[in-house]
Amino acid sequence: MALSIIFARSENHCIGYQGLLPWNLPDEFASFNNITDGKAIIMGRRSYEDHNCALPNRLNIVVSRQLDYTLPAPIRCAANLTTALELAASHSSEYFIIGGVKLILAGLSQASRVVETIVHAEVNGDTFLPAIDFSHFKSEIIEHHQVDEHHASAFTVWQHTRT
């Protein structure tokens, strides 16, 4: 069983604004898609409602305490993180928590690796992830993207692997 976590945050630790990502960085989204392709992904109900459909070629698991929350098949709903992790582990050897804040923090102690993209900008938003202590992880940069005509901010993708 291998839980991973993936998220992107700005320099000021913002991850969301009004239910959406606070940036438009196509190659960052492409990188997220490559890393999570074929895997199970676990997300909070608000993160799901950001896009309101299944991310393709992945088992999408949405966590909600609402007993009557309905989702179109094949998206799965889980009433808590434990159930979501069990479902995910039955699908793929590696599976991801992809947000939001509480699920990332709740999964951290069990995660084998964390893929953290730092968007090199100070961003206005309403959803912030506290700084995470990666002292028990080996950290390396796996991608760096400069500003270009499609990317208003540079970003760096860090991989933190538990030691």
Ligand X SMILES: NC(=O)c1ccc[n+]([C@@H]2O[C@H](COP(=O)([O-])OP(=O)(O)OC[C@H]3O[C@@H](n4cnc5c(N)ncnc54)[C@H](OP(=O)(O)O)[C@@H]3O)[C@@H](O)[C@H]2O)c1
Please report, as ranges, the residues that interact with ligand X according to CB under 6 A: 7-8, 15-16, 19-21, 43-47, 50, 63-66, 69, 80-81, 98-103, 106, 127
Coil, helix or strand for 148? strand
What's at 24, amino acid-wise?
Answer: N
**Least distance (Å) between residue 98 CB and ligand X:** 6
- 131, with CB counted inside 10 A (0-12, 13-18, 19+), is exposed
For residue 14, what is the enclosing H or E element?
strand 14-16
As measured in angstroms, the least distance from the Cβ of 162 to ligand X is: 20
Nearer to ligand X, 13 or 163 (CB): 13
Residue found by looking up tokens 């989204």 in the block: 29
* Count of all residues that appear for the chain in the document: 163
Q: Which is nearer to ligand X, 112 or 128 (CB)?
A: 128
The least CB distance from residue 136 to ligand X, in Å, is: 21
Closest approach of ligand X to the CB of residue 85, in Å: 11
* In the complex, minimum distance from the CB of residue 140 to ligand X, in angstroms, rounded to a whole number: 19
Question: Judged by CB, which is closer to ligand X: 16, or 137?
Answer: 16
Q: What is the CA radius of gyration of the chain?
A: 15
Cβ contacts of 47 within 8 Å, gap of 6 or more: 98, 99, 100
Q: Which is nearer to ligand X, 15 or 137 (CB)?
A: 15
- CA–chain centroid gap for 99, Å, is 4
Task: Identify which of residues 63 and 88 has a Cβ nearer to ligand X in the complex.
Answer: 63
Distance CA 134, CA 17 (A): 25
